[in-house]
Amino acid sequence: MPDVVEKPEVGTKATSVTEVFAGIFLILIGLLLIRFGFFFAGALVAVVGLVVLAF
């Protein structure tokens, strides 16, 4: 009887290059917005970038 190998969960990490670049891009845009005085908008964009990188 062959052993059943479980596949790891897909979609829990940002494995594609596009998602990594998108997350970094959003963080940089957020930091630029904070730099130019749009604190809440910049913080929101930076947090979205972190979420993209985390998941």
Number of domains in the chain: 1
8 inside domain: no
Q: Which range marks the domain in which residue 45 is found?
A: 17-54
5 inside domain: no
| Better pLDDT: 4 or 49 | 49
Task: List, in order, residues 6 or more apart from 26 with CB less than 8 Å away.
Answer: 45, 46, 48, 49, 52
Q: Could you read off the pLDDT of 3-31 as tens digits, one per residue? A: 666 666 655 554 688 888 898 999 999 99
User: What integer pLDDT is reported at residue 35 of this predicted model?
Assistant: 92
Average pLDDT over residues 32-38: 91
pTM: 0.67
The owner of tokens 């630029």 is 32
